[in-house]
Chain A
Amino acid sequence: MADLKYAFYTGCSAKGVAPELYESTKLVAEKLGMELIELDAASCCGAGAVQEKDEFLALTINARNLALAEELGLDLLTICNTCTVMLRETKFKLDNDPELKKAVNEVLAEAGLEYKGTSEVTHFLWEIIDGVGLDTLRAMVIRPLKEFNIAPFYGCHIIRPPYLIGYEDPDNPKSLEMVIEALGGNPTDHEAKLACCGFHSFWSAEDKVTLRLTAYDANSAKEAQADFMVTPCPLCHTQLDAMQEEAEERIGIQIGMPVLHLPQLIGLAIGFKPHELGLQKHIITPEKVINAFS
């Protein structure tokens, strides 16, 4: 097995409202032979918010985050789509603009740091495929997810924009389906597979946009007769799981669609119990899954 050692960038959500993502990632990564060195000095990526107020500051803060991974000589591994796109955007801008890189490094130098551009930014989902490998994953499946219809929900920032992400075709991505299949599950195609969860306009357009999207997405999986959704992004998860009841209420429909984090899905198939993976922490309890695995 290749050297699967990563600088682990947790992001805020895994340390905040999605503790089950942090816990399940650690458990699953260890079992799959991935060594995660947590960047406990890394800061928030700005999530697009800081970028809208103070672009240079956001770039510099993220250049520091990238420099921390470079200190370890490792690629930076994320577990959040928005962290992924923000860090990759920083890298893109600095690597393509020597003047900007110089200016950022002048600031970083004050703190004894330097951004070189030597670490890649990668996502847990991609490393399951490119690092661990699907054959290895398949071989580690103890409990195939064969009775489940699983609706993939990519989340925007792991496929768009292609000039920053570029892992796969944003119009026809397959990575999530490939992982679901490797775990023995049935990927369920649905209308909202590539849609937006609405998270990022919550504080400005909760009723006008966000909850309408949330309801649309969860309902799309329901109409496709999925047992649950799976997402590689904690922001999508918070929106689709924690805010689903609010969305049901505002729109006036019943949905009740459970949503799993990607590491939880993998964890179930490779032998962890639902409570070890924190499935009981979800607002929409995935009862069918918990019962099947308990």
Chain B
Amino acid sequence: METFKLRVFRYDPTKDTEPYYKTYELPVEKGMTVLAALFKAKEEQDPSISFRYNCRAAICGSCAVRINGHAALACKVQITHLLKKYETDTITVEPIGNVRPLKDLIYDMDWLIDKMKKVKPWFIPKEAPPADGKEYRQSPEDHNKIDFASDCILCASCMSDCNALKVNKDFLGPMVHSKAYRFAADTRDGAKRERLEAVLEDLNLEWCVRCWECTTRCPKEVQPYENIIRLRIMAAEEGFKTPGEIHAEIFEQDILNRGLLNEMLLPMRQEGILGAIKRAPFGIKMMFKGKVNYADFFGGHKIRRLEEIKVIYEKAKEKEKEINIKLPQIMGVIYEDKRKTAKRKNFAESGGNE
């Protein structure tokens, strides 16, 4: 009988000074999920293993754990797939990242709830209910903008693998920013500005490093990263002047005036003369190493056919108001299918992953 090793993070603060890992050997069964494997280990080998679960159908969000280093719902991922994916006989299960473990795979949820409170994750109506006694209504197009963001099951898989949260626990995090977007973008909601102010407090929304981990981890295609970007677009439209907004303007001006970004003049334009002085020692170090393109201090190189950009810029600005850019989910994104589209013949043959 084929078996595999289930290596489980164990920690009981009433007994253990340090967390440790305990390994259980289990049979490989077709269709067995990580959650089923945890149950089997608990029922047959060690009744003391603690973990959270409820629906067993990827709906409740209770069983998020880290599996071989990446967050996922234990009830959604199958052992046979994992063994193949990681080419291993060992599946390591830990609590999700960026949290305080309470016992084994169970972690403290209070800090997630405290963060969530900051963005008031509830509907604040813009106006009184419709006089006809029916529900607040909106068009299908308007609903599409928040439909997928509403699918969040608060499993915190995105929070687990967030790079910004990893190094700074004050970051509100993708789950929270995404929830703020869900309400700020709701045409029936009356607290858009207040919500934007909440996510921009200490410019937290701009701490996101664009690593796209949250979207990669989300088991429900909520796309937290894309929602963070949409929140930033909303903030720009509402006239918030943030470092990100200044940065975008510099990029836009450089594309228009020379085609490529002028990295040499960027610090000065981003932070002003004081910023440039602060960055001077760094600049000198770069010059000394030959990393500085001196011509760029005087405008520098321009791309060929720059005049096309100017025409495109004018016309795009004129046209953008009538354009409704659809969310990737609306376009029918199925992750698994998309992974197969890249050309990868030689890659697979030379020993790459499936």
Chain A, residues 154-171, CB within 8 Å of chain B (1/0): the string is 001100111111111111
Contacting B at CB under 8 A, from A49-70, are 49-57, 59-61, 64
A44 at the interface (CB under 8 A from B): yes
Given A43-B309, A52-B244, A208-B207, are A92 and B328 neighbors across the interface (CB < 8 Å)? yes
Other-chain contact of B163, A57, A162, A213, A283 (Cβ < 8 Å) = A213
Bound-state CA distance A280–B290 (Å) is 9
Other-chain contact of B225, A49, A161, A209 (Cβ < 8 Å) = A161
Other-chain contact of B260, A15, A156, A165 (Cβ < 8 Å) = A15
Interfacial chain A residues near B208, Cβ < 8 Å: 201
A93 at the interface (CB under 8 A from B): yes
Chain B, residues 301-329, CB within 8 Å of chain A (1/0): the string is 10111011101110111011011011010
Interfacial chain B residues near A278, Cβ < 8 Å: 290
Flag if B236 contacts A52 (CB, 8 Å). Answer: yes
Flag if A161 contacts B203 (CB, 8 Å). Answer: no
Residue of A nearest to B206 (CB): A204
Flag if A162 contacts B319 (CB, 8 Å). Answer: no
Bound-state CA distance A196–B174 (Å) is 15
Interface size of A in residues (CB-CB distance below 8 Å): 93
Flag if B248 contacts A160 (CB, 8 Å). Answer: no
Residue of B nearest to A246 (CB): B282
Flag if A178 contacts B293 (CB, 8 Å). Answer: no
Chain A, residues 52-92, CB within 8 Å of chain B (1/0): the string is 11111101110010000000000000000000010000001
- Min CB–CB distance A109 → chain B (angstroms): 9
B78 at the interface (CB under 8 A from A): no
Given A52-B233, A92-B328, are A40 and B285 neighbors across the interface (CB < 8 Å)? no
Flag if B247 contacts A203 (CB, 8 Å). Answer: yes
A289 at the interface (CB under 8 A from B): no
B134 at the interface (CB under 8 A from A): no
Interfacial chain A residues near B326, Cβ < 8 Å: 93, 97, 100
Residue of A nearest to B88 (CB): A172
Given A19-B291, A107-B316, A134-B350, are A47 and B251 neighbors across the interface (CB < 8 Å)? yes
Stretch at the interface among B99-107, B109-117, B187-195, B330-338: B330-338
Flag if B255 contacts A48 (CB, 8 Å). Answer: no
Interface size of B in residues (CB-CB distance below 8 Å): 98
Contacting B at CB under 8 A, from A191-244, are 195-196, 198-201, 203-205, 208-210, 212-213, 216, 242
Stretch at the interface among B25-33, B44-52, B165-173, B176-184: B165-173
A141 at the interface (CB under 8 A from B): no
Other-chain contact of A203, B70, B86, B243, B303 (Cβ < 8 Å) = B243
Flag if A160 contacts B346 (CB, 8 Å). Answer: no
Interfacial chain B residues near A130, Cβ < 8 Å: 343-347
Other-chain contact of B263, A12, A107, A111, A170 (Cβ < 8 Å) = A12
- Min CB–CB distance A166 → chain B (angstroms): 4
Flag if B251 contacts A129 (CB, 8 Å). Answer: no
Interfacial chain A residues near B229, Cβ < 8 Å: 48, 51-52
Interfacial chain B residues near A282, Cβ < 8 Å: 289
Chain A, residues 127-170, CB within 8 Å of chain B (1/0): the string is 00110011100000000000000000000110011111111111
Flag if A107 contacts B319 (CB, 8 Å). Answer: yes
B239 at the interface (CB under 8 A from A): no
- Min CB–CB distance B337 → chain A (angstroms): 9
- Min CB–CB distance B249 → chain A (angstroms): 7
Interfacial chain A residues near B70, Cβ < 8 Å: 171
Flag if B168 contacts A15 (CB, 8 Å). Answer: no
Flag if A59 contacts B212 (CB, 8 Å). Answer: no
Flag if B303 contacts A42 (CB, 8 Å). Answer: yes
Flag if A56 contacts B248 (CB, 8 Å). Answer: no
B150 at the interface (CB under 8 A from A): no
Interfacial chain A residues near B198, Cβ < 8 Å: none
Spell out B's residues near A (CB within 8 Å): 68-70, 85-87, 163-164, 166-168, 170-171, 203, 206-213, 215-216, 225, 229, 232-233, 236, 242-252, 254-255, 259-264, 270-271, 282, 285-286, 289-293, 296, 301, 303-305, 307-309, 311-313, 315-317, 319-320, 322-323, 325-326, 328, 331-333, 335, 338-347, 350-354
**What are the 5 closest A-B residue pairs judged by CB atoms, nearest first?**
A204-B206, A16-B263, A212-B167, A53-B248, A196-B211
